[in-house]
A and B are shown apart, each in its own frame.
Chain A
Amino acid sequence: MWIRLRRSLNGFYNRVDPLIVRCIGHKRLYTFHSPGVAECIPAIPTDYRLTVQECVTLWTRHFQLRGVSEPRLSSQYIIAHLLGVKTLESLGQDRLAEFLTHKQMEQTWKLCTRRLTRMPVQYVIEEWDFRDLTLKMSPPVFIPRPETEELVGLMLADLQVKQGTGVSEEANLRCLEVGCGTGAISLSLLNSLPQLRAIALDKNKDAVELTVENAHSLGLQDRLEVHHMDVIRDADMIVRMCSPVSVLVSNPPYLFSEDMASLDPEVHKFEDHDALDGGVDGMQVIRHILTLAPQLLSNNGRVYLEVDPRHPPFIQLWAEGGERGLRYVHTHHDFTGRPRFCVLENDNATYIKTRTSI
């Protein structure tokens, strides 16, 4: 079937059956094979230009053909990023009908081709938003999830209540984050609380470097220390260097090892497995953090954890097991209604006991 490719690609897509067709453009040849074998990438049109809207539609269609998840959103975010805005909605009407320059089209093709390999959009455009901040993202550092935004909100609410009651030690607020990744939690807290000082740890060198980079671009590097340490192996050094802190927060790897195989390609192929795998029961790293917490926290200091919905009962049981040094305060639910956040508080009596027993 020979079909003449018209100038308007919208018209093209309305007529063409995406099975075996051969289309002749003015000087270009587009070949789409039957679904499942769509190996080729559409070549950049050289003799005519596409408008922004046409480009988005073209790539949405192509992502759909190749089975890429969230095809429309992916192409919208990538092209919006190239045009210098966050979302396509914020572009005015006139800009959507504007033609892309050849350079912009080349960049679009380059980024969208990366997306075809199932690379997450955040890695493709190398940035994403977290609460009020825009952070740089780069593989394989773990991409912050929307649930973690709620964790920060929860902490801010608690800290602000504490300040309201005028607890004197809070003039020197210190916060420790285990497994900082891109630095999302620490930087968000620093941004909202001017008097906070934060320490961030991660066992992945890339994550440490990325956190430092993000801190610099947000101007928060003065109040943040980032260290390349492993909470399991370097436990003693951490206690020596960092204690006491008023708040300990973590979004530790909490996936069960058996679930790792069923992850989406976006997560499985590109994100650091060490930031995801929490052992057989998902609680390996969590246990280490909780064991260390009483030695790190000051009086009435709190631990905030993001966990798998199956974990809170176990953690509560563990904390109430006796002589742990921590008291279980509350389980908070995320906006989907799943029990997601555990809050524990330093129990002074047992804290002193464990200190003297060392």
Chain B
Amino acid sequence: MAFTQAVKMSLLCGRFKKYSYQMWSSVMSQRNYRTVLCGRRRYPSPKICQKSRAMHATQPLMITKLLTVDEIFARKPLQDYLKKIETEYSDSLKVINSTEGQQDSNEEFRIKRTRVSVLDPLIEYIKELKIKEQEFAETETLLKDDDPDMCQLAVIEREACQKAIQDIRQKILSQLIPEEESDMSDLVLEVTAGIGGQEAMLFTAEVFDMYQRFAAHQGWAFDILEYMKSELGGLRHASASISGNESYKRMKFEAGVHRVQRVPKTEKQGRMHTSTMTVVVLPQPTEITFTINSKDLRIETKRASGAGGQHVNTTDSAVRIVHLPTGVVSECQQERSQLKNKEKAMKMLRAKLYNIRLEEETCKRYTERKVQIGTKGRSEKIRTYNFPQDRITDHRIGKTVHEVREFLLGEELLEEMNTALREFSNQETLMDILGENY
């Protein structure tokens, strides 16, 4: 046993003195791989450890790159799609104007009308774009003029035109991408420790802290609903309610399984471990969008047993709500007032139930997409935090960021990663709409 421990130590330290030839040859025969099998565990290969910041090629799930606005517009599918929209608009307009007095096809009429009003802004932008492009073409002819002043004017005009064209193109793209129903809502964030025991729980606490700071950085309200600690200062499970501008739109990309690779604090022998933790993001519906019948709920409190009322004085104000049809449970004991605990538990329950419904809907809608950012649910392995190599890799887009400590502060680096994910997701939606296969 001591011998195996020594070999493992040596592998990590890079000093290959205290081992037998047999063990060493088994390790070195695997030297061409990134990790080696020693005993029953996998360790990074000695060769890799010797290099600092070794080359690592993560295999992104999709081979694609972020296209610029101009590149997208240059491609044919978008042009075709815009033409299609224009024809649809003009047809619908004709139908509406002609059947003004008719009440025959009421349903169709209404549909066409709503379609026209929805497409109005987009058509406006397309017209503006055409005008600007025409102006741009005119400046070309002006440039050929002999007069230097005119040339200068032309150059200035050209630049202005270009900028305006860029803006309008961006607006058109954002118009094409449909607004999700849940994008405007607040959210409930849930973190749970995964595989890895105490180390996973410690990591969960760090990630929860990171999101708390991120919320503060973005100016969102962060209200802890539940916080289950572990013995060593880690976190088993926690939930928080985040509300603010675009909170769900940004945070939905954080959902999934986060993986950490480092030497844990609890580790006495300096071995590297891989642990995981899960982040779940639940959009929080407003009263109007989602209602729960109070008859379907069973509220459990300590006061339910015994006489209650003036007979008993308890300080146990924990509330547990069970939604009987689905069996979803939520509980809260964060506050001293029972009513407040009940309100918080209801908040969480609504978020959970809404999320179940949403998942069912999005599943149906987005099975076509290649990389379902934010829609695959809780089993998607999204990010790896590698402490020894000081890098964080998001597997969905293949983006790597360095400075793990900085990242866990939840400020600029996390925002950078988040923005990149959002842009990819937008592009993906766009390609989906255009019927592309990139």
Contacts and interface: CB of A to CB of B under 8 A. Distances in A.
Nearest to B309: A147
B336 A335 contact: no
Given A90-B224, A90-B334, A96-B233, A336 B304 contact: yes
A115 to B, nearest CB: 11
Given A96-B233, A335-B301, A336-B304, A73 B309 contact: no
A55 interface: no
B313 A122 contact: yes
Interface in A203-241: none
Contact of A70 (B227, B299, B308, B316): B316
Interface in A85-105: 86-87, 89-90, 93-94, 96-97
A77 B336 contact: yes
Contact of A267 (B299, B313, B317, B333): B313
Q: For B299, B311, B312, B317, which residue has the most chain A Cβ atoms within 10 angstroms? A: B311
B301 A131 contact: no
B339 interface: yes
A128 interface: yes
B309 A129 contact: no
A334 B301 CA distance: 11
B277 to A, nearest CB: 15
Interface string B101-132: 00000000000000000000000000000000
Contacts of A32: none
B338 A336 contact: no
Given A70-B314, A129-B336, A93 B233 contact: yes
Contact of B311 (A94, A96, A259): A259
A347 interface: no
A77 B336 CA distance: 9
B310 interface: yes
A255 B313 CA distance: 14
Contacts of A309: 309
Contact of B313 (A149, A253, A259, A271): A271
Interface string A237-256: 00000000000000101110
B313 A335 contact: no
A206 B230 CA distance: 44
A45 interface: no
A8 B313 CA distance: 34
B308 A334 contact: yes
Contacts of A279: none
A150 B339 contact: yes
Interface residues of A, number: 50
Given A86-B335, A335-B301, A336-B304, A129 B340 contact: yes
B313 A87 contact: no
A30 interface: no
Contacts of B334: 87, 89-90
Contacts, number: 101
A25 B227 CA distance: 35
B229 interface: yes
B317 A86 contact: no
Interface in B304-330: 304, 307-317
B309 A145 contact: yes
Contacts of B339: 131, 146, 149-150, 153
A69 B313 CA distance: 10
A253 B310 contact: yes
Contacts of A90: 224, 334
A200 interface: no
B312 A121 contact: no
Nearest to B233: A93
Interface string B86-110: 0000000000000000000000000
B336 A264 contact: no
Given A96-B233, A129-B335, A131-B339, A147 B303 contact: yes
Interface in A129-151: 129-132, 142-143, 145-147, 149-150
Contacts of A327: none
Interface string A47-76: 000000000000000000000011001100
Q: For B227, B316, B336, which residue has the most chain A Cβ atoms within 10 angstroms? A: B336
Given A150-B339, A335-B299, A89 B227 contact: yes
Contacts of B227: 89
A93 B205 contact: yes
B229 A93 contact: yes
A251 B310 CA distance: 9
B337 interface: yes
Given A74-B315, A264-B313, A131 B340 contact: yes
Contacts of B301: 146, 335-336
A266 B313 contact: yes
Nearest to B202: A93
Interface in B182-207: 205
Interface string B331-366: 001111111101000000000000000000000000
Contacts of B337: 129-132, 146, 149
A176 interface: no
Interface string B57-99: 0000000000000000000000000000000000000000000
Nearest to B230: A93
B334 to A, nearest CB: 6
A128 B336 contact: yes
B299 to A, nearest CB: 5
B330 to A, nearest CB: 15
A340 B338 CA distance: 16
B316 A73 contact: yes
A264 B315 CA distance: 13
B309 A254 contact: yes
Contacts of A143: 313
A276 interface: yes
B315 A121 contact: yes
Given A93-B233, A264-B312, A338-B308, A87 B340 contact: no
A325 interface: no
A306 interface: yes
A263 interface: yes
Interface string B252-291: 0000000000000000000000000000000000000000
Contacts of B312: 145, 264, 267
Contacts of A147: 303, 308-309
Contacts of B235: 93
A131 B303 CA distance: 17
Contacts of B315: 70, 73-74, 77, 120-122
6 closest A-B pairs by beta carbon, nearest first, are A146-B338, A129-B337, A336-B304, A129-B336, A149-B339, A93-B233
23 contacts: A70-B314, A70-B316, A74-B315, A87-B335, A89-B224, A89-B227, A89-B333, A93-B205, A93-B229, A120-B313, A129-B337, A129-B340, A132-B337, A132-B340, A143-B313, A145-B309, A146-B303, A146-B339, A149-B337, A259-B311, A267-B311, A334-B308, A335-B299
Given A69-B314, A129-B337, A337-B304, 8 more contacts: A70-B316, A87-B333, A96-B233, A120-B315, A129-B335, A131-B340, A336-B299, A338-B308
